Structures are given as structure tokens and as C-alpha cells.
Structure 1
Amino acid sequence: MSAAPSADRFAGKTAIVTGAGSGIGRATAIRLAQEGATVVAADVVADRLSELVAEFPDLGFITVAGDVSSEETTQRIVEAAGPRIDVLANVAGIMDGFLPLGEVDDETWERVFRVNVTAVMRLTRAVLPRMLEAGSGSIVNVSSEAGIRGGCAGVAYTASKHAVIGLTRNTSVMYAAKGIRSNAVAPGGVATNIEAPFKSALAGEALGPILQSIVPPIATSEQLAAAITWLASDDSANVTGTVLASDGGWSAI
């Protein structure tokens, strides 16, 4: 799924994208803006947002720098979007060094869940009143291949991405009658700025051969952005509660 952007698919709509300073989030923010949306681009690194605006000065990005897992940043993002929010793309996420259960420390576990799950919950919760008032809205959460299988990452990341899928599906059921859709994208390997070194010898021994033998070619951030924007758009109006595996066929193995 990598068709060229349509000039007006999101004309008149406002979208929020987290993790917009790099990788999938950046590509998603660019594509939404190119397709007509007013985009609130949020990222923890202010310099990345400045570079985004400098590279695409005509796309009119509204930027919010801050930790998306904090309530204060959540409120600033929603306020920056204004009275109507049509699309929310929860893209920001962090890895866990592939640490297995016996080696993961509390700090890593809590940090991964804070960014990968709690931030998604808080921002979605903050956006829902505006979507409910409008009677429509599309939420797209980025999970992972690790959210649908057990051998792709460490325990904290794997559990967090399973949680994102649960959050996505429950939201889809609870708000379907209100005109709000909730879907997730599950990428496989993607060329992004998220570093994923093996911090565990056990993980390298257990997962290294598996990943080397079955992982398909690395996807581009733009390919993932195409999947996210399709789910965000009215082209997928009959799709909710779905986890779209954009993984080059990895999930079929």
C-alpha cells in the first residue's frame, strides 16, 4: 500500500500525529498534510519538529514538543488542534532492548508502558470528547508484529503492543455507534529511528536466528504511512476494530 498522496482526501480535517519528528510518525504527518489536513505534529525532540517545518514550510504544521506520556503535553496537543479533531494517529513508541522477563528491570518496563500504552490511552481519552461532539472520528494506533506474536521483541515491548491492540479493539466496540472508528497497524521491520539493539545475550541466542531467517525485507516509513492514512480516511469507512498487518507477509509465516 504505497499509492501517491491524494491532494484533498483530508481537506478541511484536523489530524494529530505523535512521534512526528522521525520515522513512521514523520512520514504520516507529511502525507496527511499533503492530502489536505491541518496536522498537529507532536514529538519529544523539538529539533526534529523544527527540521520538519523547515523542510516542508508550505504544509502548515502545528508543532508541539514534549513527552507524549505526560498529561501536560497531552493537553497542549489537544489545545493546539482546536475545537475539531478528525484523525488521531498514535505513532510514538520506544523499544526495550529485547530484554526477556528474567532480565527486564522495573524502570524499563514502566518506561515502555508509559510511552507505548499510557500515552496512547491518555491522548485518545482527551480527543474523544471532540470526536463525540462531531459524531465522527478515526483513531489509528501503531502496534507491532510483536503485538500479535511472541518472538519479535523483549517482554516489555511485546506486552505493550499487545495492550495497544486490546485498547484499539475495545475502543472500536465502545464507540462504533457514535461514529468513531479505532484501528491499529502492526508493522514488521521498518527503517525508523527507533534503535533496537539486543541488550540480552539470552534474547540474541533465542531470537536472533528466528529474526534473521524469517524477517521479510525492511519496509519504508512511507509504506507504513500509506497504511495509516488509509485507515484514517473515509476510504476505510467500514473498517473498525481491525489490526492491519503491514509486515511484508511476516504474520503469514
Structure 2
Amino acid sequence: MPDPSHRFAGRIGLVTGAASGLGRDAALALAAEGARLVLFDLDAAGLEAVAARCPGAVTVAGEVSRAADIERAAAALDALGPASLLVTAAGLLGPTRPLAEVEEAEWDRLFAVNVKGTWLALKALLPRMEKAGGGAVVTVASGSGLVGNAIFPAYSASKGAVVLMTRSVAVSHAMQGIRANTVCPGQIETPMLRGVFEQLGERAAGVEAMFRAKNPSGRFGEVGEVTAAVLFLLSDAASYINGAALPIDGGRLA
């Protein structure tokens, strides 16, 4: 019987946003289970710290919304071998203001990272996965991409785009042996969540209490709880799961 602790032995993949948060944790977990990875992020120092704990990992520092930088990451994958795994965790929260108060530059930057960055990674990896005979993609969206959000509506719009982009890939590439699913975390204890509260200033304590009160679990999630879902969806155990948008939110959207 294969060792279940090495589900990804011999597999090669790319993780964007790998220097911190959900991307960092996913990269560490994949590497611990045998995957060889290209780690991509704007934070070069953060990447090196993660790579030190990921045997055989290669780092590529760059801007996820810049095609040339993503192509550098794809070229690094080619040097490792056929790629069959992709996790797109790079993302921004953006402004916590009503849509009418969002500046054009803020909107463009948010969509450049969250939407264009996801698209560029898919654009680079899907042909390589087809050539390799298949693969698995997990994009990182948000519970805010499944329902409207009054606190950060621009972010909600961008993550809704990620959900439908992922589902479109699932439909269009299933016959090539490629599965594409997205995880939709709720409030998870990450620097991004803390950034929400920092932006809210004096409103932060009240909003945090509201978030907790509205969650049936009465708490925020842990990064590892999202990572467990990401690895499951990438694994062969999820071979018939394709196009799912999985809420990881303690029942918040139930």
C-alpha cells in the first residue's frame, strides 16, 4: 500500500503567494508529503525562509500580475519536470469601503493580483498539465466570493471572478485529465484578516465580535484547516471532485 503521508511523492507544482499565509502553509504541507515545488511570491526573503523547509524547492520572486514573471516560474517548473499541481494563493484584500468610495487605482490593483494573477498562473500551467497527461488545480477564493459583502465589496467581486474562472476551467479541461476546484475560506486567522481589522480602526472590535457571533462555530478558522482541504482536493482521493467551490467557514454560509 502507498504511504498516505506521501500523497504527492514525485509530483511537481507551483504555489503562488507562497511566502505567507495560506500559500506558505500549503507549500510546507505539500513539500512534507513529497512534492517538489516552485514557490512564487513578491517577498523574496519570505520565499527563501519557506524554501528552507521545502526539500528541492525553487524560488521565483516576482509580481503575480506580470506575465513575464509567471513565465519565469513556469520555466523553473520545466526544469524540475512535468508539472501536475497548482495552488494560486496570491491575493490582496483591498479597500474596506463601499464601492462608490473605492479609487480606480485600488480597484485595478486588486483585480490585477486576485483575478489577473490567477488567470496568468492558469494560462501558464494548463498547457503544461495537458502535456503531462493531467493535473489538479486549487485556487484560493473566499466565502466573500460566494455572497455579497458590505465591508469589502471590491474584494468580494474579485473573488467571485476567481470562483467562476475556476469552474470554467473545470468544465473546459476535464477531458484533458485536469481537475480545478476552489476553496472559499471564511474568517481565518491570517495576516490578511488582521489587516481587515486594522483598516476598520475604531470599528474593528465591533466587527470582529459580529463576525464571531454570526459563525455557528463561534470562532475563526485556523490556516491548517484550509490547508487540509487544499491538499485533499489536490490528491487522488478527490479524483471525482471537479468544479467545487468549497466553503471553509465553520458553517457561516450554511
- Normalising by structure 1, report the TM-score: 0.90
Instruction: Give every structure 1 segment of 4 or more consecutive aligned residues whose post-TM-superposition deviation is greater than 2 Å.
Output: 197-201, 206-213
1:78 aligns with 2:55: no
Map residues 1-253 of structure 1 onto 2, 5 A cutoff: 6-54=4-52, 56=53, 59-82=55-78, 83-151=81-149, 153-194=151-192, 195-197=195-197, 199=199, 210-215=210-215, 216-252=218-254
Report how many aligned residue pairs link the two structures: 245
Which residue identity is paired with 1:211? F
- Paired residue type of 2:85: V
Rounded Cα–Cα distance in structure 1 between residues aligned with 2:109 and 2:138 = 22
**1:115 to 1:153, Cα distance in 2 relative to 1, 3 A:** farther
Structure 1 portions without partners, runs of 5+? none
Q: Partner letter of residue 19 of structure 2?
A: G
- Distance in structure 2 (CA, Å) of the matches to 1:153 and 1:46: 31
Give how far 1:198 is off: 6.5
Q: 1:200 to 1:225 in 2, by over 3 A?
A: closer
Q: Distance in 1 between matches of 2:223 and 2:74?
A: 25
Partner amino acid for 1:191? E
User: Quick one: distance in 1 between partners of 2:20 and 2:34?
Assistant: 20
Structure-2 separation of matches of 1:191 and 1:154: 17
C-alpha distance in 2 between matches for 1:133 and 1:209: 49
Partners of 1:33 and 1:39 within 8 A in 2: yes
Residue 244 of structure 1 aligns to a residue in which SS? strand
Instruction: Tell me the CA shift for residue 200 of structure 1.
Output: 6.7
Q: Percent identity?
A: 36
Q: 1:165 to 1:134 in 2, by over 3 A?
A: same
SS in 2 for 1:15: strand
Query: Quick one: higher RCO (CA 8 Å, sep 6+), 1 or 2?
Result: 1
User: 1: CA distance between counterparts of 2:59 and 2:5?
Assistant: 22
Change (3 A) 1:24 1:225: same
Higher share in helix: 2
Equivalent residues of 2:40, 2:73 under 8 A apart: yes
Cα deviation for residue 60 of structure 1 reads 2.2
Change (3 A) 1:152 1:186: farther
CA RMSD in angstroms, aligned pairs only: 2.2
One-letter amino acid matched to 1:196: V
Residue 217 of structure 1 aligns with an amino acid whose one-letter code is: R
Give per-residue Cα distances to partners, 1:90-117, cap 9 Å, x unaligned. Answer: 0111002322111111011111100000
